[in-house]
Amino acid sequence: MVANSEFFMNLALKEAWKYQGLTYPNPAVGCCVVSESGAILSVEAHKKAGLPHAEVEALKSAYFKLTNDEFILKLTNSADIHKYLIQNHNGIFKNCSVYTTLEPCSHIGKTPSCADLLSLLSIKKVYVGALDTNPEAACGNKKLLDADIEIQNGVLEAKCKELLYPFERWSKDKFVFFKWAQRLNGTYDGGIITSKESRKNVHDMRDKCDLLVIGGESVRIDRPTLDARLVDGKAPDILIYSRKSEFDKTIPLFKVEGRKVIISDNLDIIQKYKNIMIEGGANMFEATRDIVDRYLCYIAPKVGGSKVFNTNIEEFEILNILQDDKDIIMWLSSRQLIDEHNLG
Amino acid sequence: MVANSEFFMNLALKEAWKYQGLTYPNPAVGCCVVSESGAILSVEAHKKAGLPHAEVEALKSAYFKLTNDEFILKLTNSADIHKYLIQNHNGIFKNCSVYTTLEPCSHIGKTPSCADLLSLLSIKKVYVGALDTNPEAACGNKKLLDADIEIQNGVLEAKCKELLYPFERWSKDKFVFFKWAQRLNGTYDGGIITSKESRKNVHDMRDKCDLLVIGGESVRIDRPTLDARLVDGKAPDILIYSRKSEFDKTIPLFKVEGRKVIISDNLDIIQKYKNIMIEGGANMFEATRDIVDRYLCYIAPKVGGSKVFNTNIEEFEILNILQDDKDIIMWLSSRQLIDEHNLG
């Protein structure tokens, strides 16, 4: 293993994937700051809309590592961190390199521009994974060049584009992902399967979704709530995908306030939504193959159970594996989809 | 994420796990060399008996990183690397830290002692994960202290002990692991499941085993060879665990030269062996629960198939996840076993 630019970019990528799906209306981005001698000063990610961008989080941590100035740790607002760094950096970043999975933003939105911040701190070199195709935020590289900062584009570009893909789909149209949870041996019957940590992550995802699609059979058998209570989040609208429209309305999901519940055997309703999670088992998996952009699989390291995720063959590419305190959380893409894209 | 001593030790651990099961009669060990300023100079592992220890591999790579002296890259023999480093180091390591998952060895076996090498190169500080309990190799720390090298013991100690566990079991008695391969949804019927890379890894494991246990049903249905041809390795002896002793002797496994094939419904035969791999499905899994030390699971990122790994409940702890070009390779321990050890 060699600690080269791919290694540092990979650290930024791994950190960013932890927050995949949780950053809308912003993309998931990771950032790593490295000293002149090659020491890792920080690795951070953008965690949530309203919180600082990845670059700002990483520069804050790097500043603390270099100065031990605890004052900055109290600052959580992006504008405050920008201001404090600009006033107090004293040139400590001048030989540092920054690895960012996405071209630094150039527009001033909820926070000042990251490209401006990097320029003002006289960063030596910025390694960029994917270029920003969002016209509002792009041109960060141009600002960096104008400030005489070296740029190296395309470091682990394919991986960085993959990290960005859900956001790009979401911005241009909508992002649809299929989520399932299972034991190691593919079973998903018999009560709660995954750890509390994993279920919190699912609730966090639900909070960021506007529509959750679920099969009628799951609703009848599991009588779910399908809200985001574990993170005090907002419950998404529900599409119960079912030919029969009769449901016992005492099932908890119908009682969640402020949500719409649609019962339909027509998936076209998803066209009205932007961030769509499909939850379910093998039947929903089969029914939604043509509309799913990415898959999200939670695996609890157990065997046992009897009802299995039995489907026709589908091959995946593993995009990221995350291990929480207990389970595996894995983002996947269909190989068929990849092949079709390559043909197209 | 903070680049502290746990971070560096974790890099060493991840590298070492790649060679778990392949290093007998030596333990799996990883090593990371870090410069004075905190830059990662190298991360290496012990790969195989006869090849250099992890510390030597890591010091070789770090030397190259610091000097660009390509001559050292040609050296593969441990004694030659020792000699070259001792003659040419010129004090470049004097402020470096070394993170090693196991206390450096002190005895001179196939290679000179690592503790002596670290002392002669005037390493500043050595971070040790687990202490060596092997009386022949231990006392490395004492040699380091005698040479005025700082030591910090117990960095990620539990994880480092876990890495060492198969070797410790093997040295004291025997190590038994259960290996299975499956698709994501737990199925394992219908021909080859895993990638060539994974199968090579299995053959490499077989080459290092002295006994492979397999169920009679698997032998009859799959008609396997169970050798190590993908790595030009030695085929282990076979125990076919079966009540019926009649087998079609044209099944390829019977034709492999230099191997013993035992057919028995008594697992006590494993007592005569040291490194035992059990391959099979759910039945073998159930039959061998009480004798298995660790589990090794290969997961191909596919769904489909119909025959599932259906078992009674077993909860695991994930010890390491490795992703090869395509599949997941995962070492697991039974939680029950862990609980029993904690009680005991």
HEC secondary structure over chain A: CCCCHHHHHHHHHHHHHCCCCCCCCCCCCEEEEECCCCEEEEEEECCCCCCCCHHHHHHHHHHHHHHCCHHHHHCCCHHHHHHHHHHHCCCCCCCCEEEEEECCCCCCCCCCCHHHHHHHCCCCEEEEEECCCCCCCCCHHHHHHHCCCEEECCCCHHHHHHHHHHHHHHHHCCEEEEEEEEECCCECCCCCCCCHHHHHHHHHHHHHCCEEEEEHHHHHHHCCCCCCHHHCCCCCEEEEECCCCCCCCCCHHHHCCCCCEEEECCHHHHHHCCEEEEECCHHHHHHCCCCCCEEEEEEECEECCCCECCCCCEEEEEEEEEECCCCEEEEEEEHHHHHHHHHC
Determine contact: A328 vs chain B, CB below 8 A. yes
Give pLDDT, residue B139: 85
Determine contact: B44 vs chain A, CB below 8 A. yes
pLDDT at B67 over 60: yes
Q: Which of B11, B185, B312 minimises the CB distance to A310?
A: B185
The region of weakest confidence among A106-110, A147-151, A219-223, A318-322 is: A106-110
Determine contact: A310 vs chain B, CB below 8 A. yes
Tens digit of each residue's pLDDT (9 = 90 or more) over A131-145: 998 776 668 999 999
pLDDT at B186 over 60: yes
Tens digit of each residue's pLDDT (9 = 90 or more) over A271-294: 999 999 999 888 899 999 999 999
pLDDT at A344 over 60: no
Tens digit of each residue's pLDDT (9 = 90 or more) over A291-330: 999 999 999 999 988 888 777 888 999 999 998 879 999 9
Determine the distance in angstroms separating the CA of B185 from the nearest CA of chain A, rounded to an integer: 4
pLDDT at B321 over 90: yes
Question: Two tokens at A220?
Answer: 């009848």
Average pLDDT, whole number, for chain B? Answer: 93
Give pLDDT, residue B107: 81
Determine contact: A41 vs chain B, CB below 8 A. yes
Q: Which of B44, B297, B308 minimises the CB distance to A308?
A: B308
Summarize the confidence of residues B36-59 as an average pLDDT: 96
Tens digit of each residue's pLDDT (9 = 90 or more) over B260-281: 999 999 999 999 999 999 998 8
A309 vs B301: CB contact, 8 Å cut-off? no
Determine contact: A15 vs chain B, CB below 8 A. yes
Q: Could you tell me the domains of chain A?
A: 5-171 (3.40.140.10), 175-343 (3.40.430.10)
Give pLDDT, residue B344: 35
* pLDDT band of B191, cuts 50, 70, 90: confident
Summarize the confidence of residues B110-119 as an average pLDDT: 86
A301 vs B317: CB contact, 8 Å cut-off? yes
Q: Which of B15, B37, B305 minimises the CB distance to A39?
A: B37
Summarize the confidence of residues B231-239 as an average pLDDT: 97
* pLDDT band of A342, cuts 50, 70, 90: very low
Determine contact: A39 vs chain B, CB below 8 A. yes
Residues from chain A contacting residue B315 (CB–CB below 8 Å): 301-302
Determine contact: B317 vs chain A, CB below 8 A. yes
Average pLDDT, whole number, for chain A? Answer: 93
pLDDT at B79 over 90: yes
* pLDDT band of B110, cuts 50, 70, 90: low
